[in-house]
Amino acid sequence: MSALLPLAQLEIRSRRGGTCESEDGFCPDWIADNLDRYVSPLLEHVVLTVASVGIGFAIAFALALLAHRREWVSAPVGALTSVLFTIPSVAAFLLLVPLTGLGVLTAIIALVAYTQVFLFRNIVNGLSNVAEETKDAARGMGLTDRQVLWRVELPLAVPEILAGVRIATVTTVNLATLAFFAGAGGLGAQIYTDITFRSNVVVAGGLAILLAAAFDLMVLGGQRLATPWRRATAA
Amino acid sequence: MAARDGGVTDLATGGPFAANAFVEAIQFLVAPRESVTGGVQVGGVDEMLTLTANHLLLSFAALAIACVVALPLGLWLGHIGKGEFLAISASNVGRAVPTLALIAFFIAFVGIGFLNVLVALTLLAIPPLLTNTYVGVRGVDRDAVDAARGMGMSEPQIVRRVELPMSVRSVFGGLQLSAISVVATAILGPLASVETLGTPIVSVNVYGQPGLLGASILVAALAILIYVLLAVAQRGLTPRGLKAGRSDAPGILRRIPFLQRQGSAQPT
């Protein structure tokens, strides 16, 4: 029966008893000795985030291109992504478990759904914010609709698209700390197993924040590489 | 209880078990049953209403305090056009701090109980409100503000009668974001000994799988309901002239007649 209960999956690890540890303190020595137990939760967290944002981007990109071509798609899809985002993540993870089972897949399904609100909206906005004159000029040069999309509209939309990716990534790192409710581990599982132990909370929570910051900087760096023309004007 | 003895295979394959699980979850919400550990009655309308009330009380209190802190600050910073870095990075930082880590930090370092959870949730609710209020006010057409000033409005009057009404959409966007994350994070309240709809989830060994799913259904419905109510309130409070499709009839600007011609005060 315990297999059905996500929280029962978490193994409460015992700590060795120095005074600092037994008083739930912040113990640099304990942290230094036990850093290795945070490696695999961190990796699980990275996998959850990268997979969710990657799959989420593919879906949002396809939907946004569809909405770009067929205007009426935009409003209902946008509304749907907002409503999905409204569902508390703990509830979403738990409600999916009877349907898709405990595990990483379930967590990723929910996390992908949460990325849509940022990715879909930003891709759609990025594409529609391209100036009509620019597109006219491109058509005047003889570019087909497809060429206008891939060579003019999408490159010009890159900053707004990547702004969406940044928000989606940071939010996913945040929400993935609750993915253990779907039995998918991650840094949240580590926090939860020993939530009163200060050393544990600081290390696991701190790693989650650092991970979010690292992903944010990576996407920002990618944005600078992808839009060299912006650097020229900004500098 | 047959479903629960069905074990992992049923769960992994979905199938009849899935439907069964949700039926049991609904039953849990309406009729009390004996707890898994035995001896006490859990679930049923009465207990769920109590937990919902606690959940709402905690969430509304956090949102109210956040509004009292963030709205004046955001309006003021937006009005004087300073503190952009603070107002914008508040939500970037807020987004990067996992809600579970925030709650855990309070439990480990500050303590458990209603007040501590309330403070944690308030901290969570402030950044989106602050950022959206600031952005909303900055997005107000400067011509409208200059016109109001030209009419002799004092600075507080400008904030209250021009900038605030014209940034309602953005402020409510922030309020919706804050409400979503507060209602979602209140689920973790029981970790700090605060009874909420998260109780059957965190204490699943007492409430059982139906309790966990039932509470999940309830809290999801509650979150969506609050989101919709805030959207309706936003529509009600948006000055008529600023509503979509009516951009040439700026209701708030009716007091500033010569601005009606412009009609381009749509905040984003």
Which pLDDT tens digit goes with each residue over A67-84?
998 889 999 999 999 999
Minimum-distance CB partner of A205 among B92, B104, B183: B104
Q: Which two tokens stand for residue B75?
A: 């309006």
Grade residue A20 by pLDDT with cuts at 50, 70 and 90.
confident
Split at pLDDT 50, 70, 90, the class of A137 is very high
Which chain B residues have a beta carbon less than 8 Å from that of A6?
Answer: 204
The whole-number average pLDDT for the span A179-185 is: 92
Average pLDDT across chain A, whole number: 88
For residue B216, give the nearest of A91, A100, A204 by CB distance: A91
Cβ atoms within 10 A of the Cβ of B253, count?
A: 25
Q: Please report the pLDDT score of residue A6 as a whole number.
A: 54
The CA-atom distances, in angstroms, between B76 and each of A214, B82, B121, B162, B174 are: 33, 9, 23, 13, 16
Within the 83-102 window of chain B, which residues sit less than 8 Å (CB to CB) from chain A?
92, 95-102
Q: Report the mean per-residue pLDDT for chain B.
A: 83
Which of A2-6, A96-100, B62-66 is least confident? A2-6
B61 min Cα distance to partner chain A (Å) = 19
Is residue B159 predicted with pLDDT exceeding 50? yes
The answer to whether position A3 is within a domain reads no
CB B189 within 8 A of CB B117: yes
- Please list, in sequence order, all residues whose beta carbon lies within 8 angstroms of the beta carbon of residue B123, skipping any fewer than 6 positions away: B102
Confidence of residue B142 (pLDDT cuts 50, 70, 90): confident
Q: Residue type at A174?
A: N
Tokens of A49: 């985030």
Contact B263, B250 (CB under 8 A): yes
Number of folded domains that form chain A: 1
Residues A200, A204, A210, A212, Cα dihedral to 10°: -150
In whole angstroms, give the CA distance from residue B59 to residue B198: 13
**Which residue ranges make up each domain of chain B?**
45-259
Q: What is the pLDDT of residue B253?
A: 38
Question: Within 10 Å of residue A155's Cβ, how many Cβ atoms?
Answer: 13
Average pLDDT over residues B65-84: 92
pLDDT score of A193 more than 60: yes
Q: Does A55 touch chain B (CB under 8 A)?
A: no
Please report whether residue A33 resides in a domain: no
Residue B9 has pLDDT above 80, yes or no: no
Range of the domain at A73: 39-234
Q: How confident is the model at residue A23 (pLDDT cuts 50, 70, 90)?
A: confident
Residues in chain B with CB shorter than 8 Å from the CB of A188 are 98, 100
At residue B17, the pLDDT reads 64
CA distance, residue A166 to nearest chain B CA (Å): 10
Is A207 within the bounds of a domain? yes
Q: Residue A71 falls within a domain, yes or no?
A: yes
The verdict on residue A67 lying in a domain is yes
pLDDT tens-digit readout, B239-267: 877 765 444 434 443 333 333 333 333 33
Q: What is the pLDDT of residue A122?
A: 94
State which CATH number among 1.10.3720.10, 3.40.50.450, 3.40.50.150, 1.10.4080.10 fits the domain covering B45-259.
1.10.3720.10
Residue A156 placed within a domain: yes
CATH number at residue A60: 1.10.3720.10
- A170 lies within 8 A of chain B by CB: yes
Sign of the Cα pseudo-torsion (A119, A125, A128, A133, in order): negative
